[in-house]
Structure 1
Amino acid sequence: MKLSTEPYWQYLLRDVLELYQSGSAGGSAKIRSHMAEVRRLLGKVIDDDPAVQEEEGEELPVCVHLDRALSNAVGYRTARLARSIEGVREHLHWKYGYEKVPRGLTRKYGYAEILGPTGPVVSDRIILGLVLFGPKTTYPGHSHKGLTESYVCISGHTSENDVGVYAPGSLILNPPGHYHRITTADREPCLLAYAWTGARESLVHQKMTFSRK
């Protein structure tokens, strides 16, 4: 199957693109440059008309919070993206990504890739995905070698490195090697969309590990 024949995956990618088009960089030149890079790469992916590997999805325990997280986007500019996620949720493969997951995270965390070298939309230009956190989650500190990462908050509230609180529609930028730790609100789940940009080798061979400082 090709992207051009799969409208729900098209909607999903275009809704992510729209968030990086309409969102504010807050006056930051670095954030503005990253948003432009995500738009450029995602536009090329759409023009490429890549393959879509649509298979039956897999869930993790954290997925009990997904309905709530999607409905909590109503009223925010991320609502359209939430509706598009609903359209493909039965094909999302939720994973931990780590060989050893801290016991406290097994029911509170999971990620699902949307676009990347392993699909479902297949491309090595950029990686896009979703991260779902349950309420009152602490995601241990980590960093990504060779990758620039951004999160757009779809629903819920989160904090990174205990600096500020990010509401739906907010964007968080993590440069390569930047150590970051994530926490979420006490009573509601948090759903984030992430984008990874970098050299093809970094995208294809990135390993997910926790680190300590």
Structure 2
Amino acid sequence: MEIGQSNHERLAGAAVRRLSDAPDWHYLLQEFDTFYSSCSAGGSKVIRSHQDRVREALAGVIAADAPILEREPASKPVVAHLPRTLDLGRCGAMAGMSRVLSRLENQLSWEYGYKQVPPSLERNYAYCEILGPQGPIQSDGLILGFVLFAPGTTYPEHNHAGIEESYVSMAGAWSENDSAVYMPGSLIYNPPGYEHRITTGERDPCLLAYAWIGPAERLAQPMMVFS
């Protein structure tokens, strides 16, 4: 890709592969939709409203047969723990999503999201965006992805201005702000600007799926900042 070339320019200048041409990516989105439609909101109207917004945005992506931009697969040290999390996930509440993700494992682009990642996270954390402005599945109003943590990791306190976020626990035990321990199948909601810190259990790695909803300009440049 030429420096400064936008995704729209790339799409205009090349033969476009669509979601319907990539069954495993399509099935992965179906797993997100199934979870957000069937999981309990715990009686919270705020959480249920967030789930509905995620599903509505996702339905639009699927209905539009969204374009797919091929990204170069990329790894980080923590990805050595991914097979373990997928093994754990296949035995739990998120088995369907874990199975589909395992078929896409070699196509994922893992990154840090920071110009300078803290040394404590260099070998213990990475994320991959699977739907959003950075693709591979293109969307301006929704981001879906996965974040992977090694055992015994603390991800420092941070917030996402203008972006509402939810985590879906796929494998491993973790806590947010020391308030509770979350197991596979849990959904955690963070409103825009909410300060939160993540810690993971000492025994196993932790894999979380996440969804971000917000204005297109915020999703294009989320600017994650540690507090």
- Please indicate the TM-score interval, normalised by the length of the shorter structure: over 0.9
- CA shift for structure 1 position 122: 0.8
Note the 1:1-213 alignment, pairs <5 A: 1-211=17-227
Letter in 2 for 1:150: S
CA contact (8 A) 2:90 2:99 kept: no
- CA shift for structure 1 position 209: 1.9
Identity among equivalent pairs (%)? 51
Letter in 1 for 2:73: G
- CA shift for structure 1 position 187: 1.1
- CA shift for structure 1 position 32: 0.7
CA contact (8 A) 1:143 1:178 kept: yes
- CA shift for structure 1 position 61: 0.1
Letter in 2 for 1:96: Y
Q: Name the larger-Rg structure.
A: 2
State the distance in 2 between where 1:28 and 1:163 align: 17
State the distance in 2 between where 1:72 and 1:186 align: 15
- CA shift for structure 1 position 205: 2.0
- CA deviation profile, 1:57-116 (whole Å, cap 9, x unmatched): 111000010000000012322111011111111111100001121111111000000000
Relative distance call for 1:99 and 1:55 in structure 2 (3 A) is closer
Q: Could you say what secondary structure the match of 2:104 adopts?
A: helix
- C-alpha RMSD over aligned residues: 0.9
- CA shift for structure 1 position 202: 1.2
- CA shift for structure 1 position 54: 2.5
Q: Give unmatched runs, 5+ long, in structure 1.
A: none
Q: Give unmatched runs, 5+ long, in structure 2.
A: 1-16
- CA shift for structure 1 position 11: 0.6
Letter in 1 for 2:161: K
